[in-house]
DNA sequence: TACAGTTATGGTTGCCATGACCATAAGTGT
DNA sequence: ACACTTATGGTCATGGCAACCATAACTGTA
């Protein structure tokens, strides 16, 4: 069967990798997971966690395996989604390496332990992706910048924001997710009304949680809906929406 | 440099292809472009147009080249966007073939001429993707079904609907796009108000077009906006939105 | 010319989601 | 008892929206 796949002047083999854009909330900041590369090329430089997809593995399984190997994170709990594929001929000095970028969102995750290929893994503030203080291997700067914008959009139209919360959460927890990611304050009362009117977004558990100070807050868990109707739209500078 | 990319028990080379989900509007129907495969595997079976990405080519250029080769379509006019990547180990009997699916939207395109690899190319109603009357090569049934759902969503939140229209179009032309793709009637008057209130969606040209009968309609061209604010949301069966 | 038929455009009304804002509930510590 | 803090609930004016009606501007026909 392999004789159908012939090398030629114009077409040749390529190597397949997955890279992970892993975001979480820590200390009221949006953080992205980076590893320090342990091997050439770009040895010692920060990069997205990732690696080769194995012969008998599909993309999602490969992403989950790399998540565990390089970052020590059990991905079965978090939201995993394909972002895009990057295959420019010059993106990897080793030759044609095609990478499929995955987006992973999770609640405040344990500080990862360094893995085999990665010298060490660490959280970096997502804000540093935009301010030029970060130099990443390969085209990972581009990929992560696109990933960040995708996260901002995603929480408008889907229930992705709940992926940043634990199993149960208060509406203030959820509101904090939006505030941190969008960088703008939201009115607690209006936010509450909006969320509760969006069918299937959250389900009350019946329990409460006591904050350090103040009235206890009702706990919720994720609802069955993923696409939000109506969506939770960002405030627009221009036109009013209602 | 190639010595960094070693074959091993677990990791091996793969072949990179692009496949195209090309949609257009013909005779008030949403149509998808298919080719009859001229080579094994799946010779004679309908499939998405596509083929191998060349060594020194990026994904987008490869998609545009295949668009021209297999379908005789000049892609410089239409909207092209990456959809997703499919790489399951069993998806191609030849071995590990990774395909990047692209979504292409265009106005009523010329009937394509058969290309080199494809015996012939033809338009099929998109409705047939769902009713089981179509058997496609590889996992193309899955890919196209996901592509169709993406189109339906895309025209809600972006100006993608204008990609189905010509260079200039009337608001009725644009409304027809939504009606056909969503399969529901829209009130002309309300549609007009919504579109014109969405900043940057369309620009008046100042010209008019005479329909076969009835009042002349003002012509518009695409505006500069891509993300719509507010979006053009589908009517919901459940809750009212305003 | 008068008229019906057709399509584009414009206006009215009632409903409801929204943002701004205020009030109350239910905890904490002093 | 009181201040303080946070969660929850309500009011009100604005404006988007669906449903619907009215008018404009063209065609063809009597």
For chain A, helix, strand, coil in percent to 5 are 30, 30, 45
β-pairing, A79-86 with A97-105? Answer: antiparallel
**Position B111 confidence tier, pLDDT thresholds 50, 70, 90:** low
β-pairing, A97-105 with A15-26? Answer: parallel
Residues 110-149 of B with CB under 8 A from A: none
pLDDT at B46: 96
Chain A environment of B223 (Cβ under 8 Å): none
Nearest-CA distance A6 → chain B (Å): 10
**Other CB atoms within 10 Å distance of the CB of residue B6:** 9
Cα A54 to Cα B14: distance, rounded to the nearest angstrom = 10
**Other CB atoms within 10 Å distance of the CB of residue B87:** 24
Nearest to A202 by CA among A157, A167, A156: A167
**Mean pLDDT of the residues in chain B:** 90
| A82-125 per-position pLDDT tens digit | 999 999 999 999 999 999 999 999 998 876 665 555 568 899 99
Domain range list for chain B: 13-155, 158-240
pLDDT at B240: 37
Using a 7 Å CB cut-off, which residues contact strand C? Answer: A 187, 189-190, 193-194, 197, 210, 213-216, 230, 233, 235, 240-242; B 170-172, 188-190, 192-193, 211, 213-218, 239-242
User: Helix (H, G, I), strand (E, B), or coil: what is residue A18?
Assistant: strand
Enter the CATH code of domain A158-240.
Answer: 1.10.10.10
User: Helix (H, G, I), strand (E, B), or coil: what is residue A242?
Assistant: coil
- Please name every residue paired with A143 in a beta bridge, in sequence order, or none if there are none: none
Facing A1 at nearest CB: one of B1, B59, B93:
B93
Residues 26-45 of B with CB under 8 A from A: 40-41
pLDDT tens per residue across all 242 residues of chain A: 444 565 677 899 999 999 999 999 999 999 999 999 988 899 999 999 999 999 999 999 999 999 888 888 888 889 999 999 999 999 999 999 999 999 999 998 876 665 555 568 899 999 999 998 999 999 999 999 999 999 999 999 999 999 999 999 999 999 999 999 999 999 999 999 999 999 999 999 999 999 889 999 999 999 999 999 888 988 764 333 33
Alpha helices in chain A (DSSP H): 59-71, 140-157, 171-182, 188-197
Tokens at residue B39, please?
A: 């080579």
φ/ψ of A144, rounded to 5, equals -70, -35
Instruction: Give the fold, CATH level 3, of A13-155.
Output: Nucleoside Triphosphate Pyrophosphohydrolase (3.90.79)
**pTM, to two decimals:** 0.92
Cα A194 to Cα A192: distance, rounded to the nearest angstrom = 5
Percent of chain B whose pLDDT exceeds 90: 74
Question: How far: B175 CA to D24 C1' (Å)?
Answer: 21
Q: Name the residue with the least CA to C1' distance from nucleotide C20.
A: A187
| A30-48 per-position pLDDT tens digit | 999 999 998 889 999 999 9
């Amino acid at each position: 069967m392999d004789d159908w796949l012939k090398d030629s002047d114009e077409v040749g083999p390529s190597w397949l990798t997955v890279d992970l854009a892993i975001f979480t909330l820590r200390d009221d900041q949006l953080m992205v997971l980076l590893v320090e590369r342990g091997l050439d090329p770009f040895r010692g430089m920060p990069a997205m966690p990732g690696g080769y997809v194995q012969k008998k593995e599909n993309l999602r399984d490969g992403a989950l395996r790399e998540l565990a190997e390089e970052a020590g994170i059990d991905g079965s709990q978090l939201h995993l989604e394909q972002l895009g594929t990057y295959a420019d001929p010059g993106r990897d000095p080793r030759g044609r390496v095609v990478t499929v970028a995955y987006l992973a969102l999770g609640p405040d995750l344990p500080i990862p332990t360094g893995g085999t290929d990665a010298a060490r893994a660490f959280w970096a503030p997502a804000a540093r992706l935009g301010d030029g203080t970060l130099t990443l291997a390969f085209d990972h700067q581009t990929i992560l910048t696109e990933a960040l914008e995708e996260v901002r959009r995603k929480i408008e139209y889907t229930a992705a924001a709940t992926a940043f919360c634990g199993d149960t959460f208060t509406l203030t927890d959820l509101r904090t997710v939006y505030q941190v990611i969008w960088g703008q304050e939201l009115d607690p009362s209006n936010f509450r009304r909006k969320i509760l009117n969006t069918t299937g977004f959250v389900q009350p558990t019946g329990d409460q949680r006591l904050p350090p100070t103040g009235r206890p807050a009702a706990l919720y868990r994720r609802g069955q809906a993923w696409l939000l109707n109506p969506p939770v739209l960002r405030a627009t500078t221009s036109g009013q929406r209602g």
